Amino acid sequence: MRQITQLTEMTDYYRSIDRLREKIALVPTMGALHRGHLSLVEEAARLAQRVVVSIFINPTQFAPHEDFNAYPRTLDEDLAKLADYPVDAVFTPTASQLYPHGYQTYVSNEGLGLGFCGIKRPTFFKGVCTVVLKLTNIVRPDFLIFGRKDFQQFKVVEQMIADLHVPTQVIGSPLVRDTDGLALSSRNVYLSSEQRRQALGISQGLFAAASLYQAGERRTQALLAAVKARIEQSPSPVIEYLAICQRDNLQEYSELVNSPAIILCAVQVGQVRLIDNIELG
């Protein structure tokens, strides 16, 4: 496994590969790696002979009041974890390489990214789309692997890649949970043990709704009420959004759920904002 820090070195890397015989899969991350990220690496290795993991905490997807400075930075541990996986290269560019002085071009999504996370974080998807397109242009992967944990992000990236005719295939890899049900996230380290206990209401609520759905419940209000009741069992979690949408276009269902659906939610537990989802059907 090699670590590549320079953009030119990354270009030399993909040029050195016989693209007819070997495919490249890119797993973009912000580091602080956990089993969720590592499952994306495994998915990448199933699809391609060469797996590249990028670790870059992208400043343009954080608003000024957000946790860019506090975001966990654990590069040595991340490299040690990746060394146990079939990773060919870890790409760790610096912010000044990706956004040099005088930088001025951004990509913004005008549809799927406007709702849900885009309401509270209006510049988030612009930062994500911009950095993903840049990383894709630098690494030239055949496959781009994203987690369905951040389902809206996965859909926004998929749309951006299609809209801009970028020659790569976006893959959505399953959400990975901790043994207690909490969706794995680099931000979980911010939770105190009491907050973590309270946060379990999120996954428990989503599981409750999925059971109701399996038992035949299709009324959106009943499904959402089951999630809400579990989350609000504890006093402190505050629901930012909770909705049932069509999985392909993120259109909200207001009445009966009758095609592949997903429940999306964002919940604030103390200072920590957690997002989670469950796919129905």
186 vs 220 by CB, closer to ligand AMP: 186
51, 87 Cβ separation under 8 angstroms: yes
User: In the bound complex, what is the minimum distance in angstroms from residue 185's beta carbon to ligand AMP?
Assistant: 5
117 vs 231 by CB, closer to ligand AMP: 117
61 vs 195 by CB, closer to ligand AMP: 61
Among 183, 250, 275, 280, binds ligand AMP (CB under 6 A): 183
Per-residue contact string for residues 29-48; x = within reach of ligand AMP by CB under 6 A: xx-----xx-xx--------
Among 176, 225, 229, 239, binds ligand AMP (CB under 6 A): 176
| Residue 186 found at the interface with ligand AMP (CB under 6 A) | yes
User: In the bound complex, what is the minimum distance in angstroms from residue 45's beta carbon to ligand AMP?
Assistant: 15
Report the C-alpha gap between 36 and 148 in whole angstroms: 10
Active-site entry in 34, 37, 101, 165: 37
| Residue 185 found at the interface with ligand AMP (CB under 6 A) | yes
Among 150, 200, 201, 267, binds ligand AMP (CB under 6 A): 150
105, 16 Cβ separation under 8 angstroms: no
93, 31 Cβ separation under 8 angstroms: no
User: In the bound complex, what is the minimum distance in angstroms from residue 233's beta carbon to ligand AMP?
Assistant: 23
User: In the bound complex, what is the minimum distance in angstroms from residue 31's beta carbon to ligand AMP?
Assistant: 6
- The region of 28-36, 64-72, 81-89, 162-170 touching ligand AMP under the rule CB under 6 A is 28-36
- Write b or e for each residue in 101-135: b if 16 or more Cβ atoms lie within 10 A of its Cβ, otherwise e: eeeeeebebeebbebbbbeebebbbbbbbbbbbbb
User: In the bound complex, what is the minimum distance in angstroms from residue 206's beta carbon to ligand AMP?
Assistant: 13
CA 129, 156, 110: angle at the middle one, nearest 5?
A: 80
65 is catalytic: no
| Residue 175 found at the interface with ligand AMP (CB under 6 A) | yes
User: In the bound complex, what is the minimum distance in angstroms from residue 183's beta carbon to ligand AMP?
Assistant: 5
Dihedral pair phi/psi, residue 115, rounded to 5°? -90, -170
Select the residue whose beta carbon is closest to ligand AMP and give its number.
147
| Residue 134 found at the interface with ligand AMP (CB under 6 A) | no
Active site residues: 37
Interface positions with ligand AMP (CB under 6 A): 29-30, 36-37, 39-40, 146-147, 149-150, 175-176, 183-186
